[in-house]
Each structure stands twice: as structure tokens, then as C-alpha cells.
Amino acid sequence: MNKILHINVGGYPFSIDDTAFEKLDHYLISLKKHFERSEGCDEIMQDIETRIAEIFQERLAGRGIVSLSLVEQAINIMGSPEAFGAEWSAESSGGEKEHTTTSDWGIKTGKRLFRDPQDAKIAGVCAGVAHYFGIQEVVWVRLAFALGIFAGGFTIPLYIILWAATREASSPSDRLAMKGEPINVQNIARKVEEEIDKITDNFESWREERQNRKKKWRG
């Protein structure tokens, strides 16, 4: 028995097995990592997703659920980043970082309620609630809380209680638990890597700025 998720691949809706989703998600993330620094990364990812959607549609013929073996077939056709390594190495040019377009609006259990400081307007309660219920856009939760203020105002004490009762998701493992991703070494390593990337980017831009300033002084 497996859970079923509903996902959007290349603009097309699919029902997908929980295990198959994990596989596909990891695959797309690893592709993204691979193409991150190449020009037109978004477009490449878009094309690949569309092609994967097409492979799914061809094989499913309008019915059924995307299974692990179907995801594996698609990965075999498209190739893993390791397979590209030999055929194609990333060209370094100012690539843009972007989020994956595969979205998941299934509710995952085993999550914990945290406050999300990275997406906070006041204390991150709404963002945490959105993660907990698997709601993609925090704005809906905020809207619900705002409407509650007019409908008797019960959401104000609710907000304060939630604020007091939850803590901030401060560590990578907290963030994984908040988003319902299994806490294993691989996932934690991925989160930590993302954080380090952010720090390096900040440092790089700071250094560039400083060099530019130096040039100005000299010039």
C-alpha cells in the first residue's frame, strides 16, 4: 500500500506514488544542481520537465498512477547527471538559481508545526501552518487569519497561542521536519549545502563590490 500524491509536471497534473515522487523529486533536484551554472537553466529544466510529462502521458495513456518503475524509465531515457558528466560538462556562465517547478500539493503526515523565520511577516506562524498542511502559497493562510479578525477576531488569540506554543525552525533538521521531508543524512546534507551556497553567494557579491570600489579609487 502506498500514498498517492498529486503533482504538476511541466504544466500537467499527475497522480504519483509516494516512493515514485521521492525518486522524481531527487532526480529533478540533482538535474537542477547540474545545470545551475549553465545559461538558460530555467529553460532547460522546463524542456526536460515537459518531456518527462510526455513520457508519462505516453505510457499511462490517460489512466493510472505514475509508478516507481515509470519514473525509472523516464530517468533512463533522460539520463542522470552522472551520465551527462561524460557527455556534457557544465559551461560556466552566470546562471540563475530558481526553484523547482514540480510542486506537490498532497498533504504529508509526520510533519511538525514550526514557525518559519525565512518566510515570516510577523513571527512566521502562518508560513509554518502553510508548511504543515502542505499549502503552497502562504498568502491563503494569511488571508484566513485576516478574515478571522473581522469574523469575531478569534484568530488574534489563536495567532498568539500558536506563536507561544511553537518554536522557530532554526536548524536544517527542523526545516525538514517542518516541510515533512524525511530526516536522513542525505536530506540534511542537501539543506546544509543550500545554506552554504547562500553564504558563499553573499560573500562573492561582497567581494566583487569591494573590488569595484578599489578600482574606482585607483582609477
The DSSP element (H or E) to which 181 belongs, if any, is: none
User: All 3 cell numbers of residue 121?
Assistant: 511577516
User: All 3 cell numbers of residue 11?
Assistant: 504544466
- Centre a 10 Å sphere on the Cβ of residue 160 and count the other Cβ atoms it contains: 12
Stretch that binds other proteins, among 82-90, 121-129, 183-191, 198-206 (CB under 8 A): 82-90
Tell me phi and psi for residue 17, to 5 degrees: -60, 145
Least CB distance to other proteins at residue 185 (A): 26
Quick check: 15 binds other proteins (CB under 8 A)? no
Quick check: 86 binds other proteins (CB under 8 A)? yes
Given 5, 16, 20, 48, the residue binding other proteins (CB under 8 A): 48
Quick check: 79 binds other proteins (CB under 8 A)? yes
Please name the amino acid found at residue 182: P
Least CB distance to other proteins at residue 169 (A): 34
Contact 79, 34 (CB under 8 A): no
- Comparison of 51 and 112: residue with beta carbon closer to other proteins: 51
Residue for cell digits 539520463? Answer: 79
Contact 114, 167 (CB under 8 A): yes
Given 6, 19, 29, 39, the residue binding other proteins (CB under 8 A): 39
Please name the amino acid found at residue 87: E
Contact 126, 142 (CB under 8 A): yes
- Comparison of 80 and 184: residue with beta carbon closer to other proteins: 80
- Comparison of 15 and 187: residue with beta carbon closer to other proteins: 15
What's the CA angle centered on 75, arms 82 and 87, to 5 degrees? 35
Given 2, 43, 100, 196, the residue binding other proteins (CB under 8 A): 43
- Give the per-residue contact string, 103-132, with other proteins (x = CB under 8 A; - = no): ------------------------------
Contact 18, 3 (CB under 8 A): yes
Given 3, 4, 6, 11, the residue binding other proteins (CB under 8 A): 11
Binding site for other proteins (CB under 8 A): 10-12, 31, 35, 38-40, 43-44, 47-48, 50-51, 53-54, 57-58, 76-81, 83-84, 86-88, 91
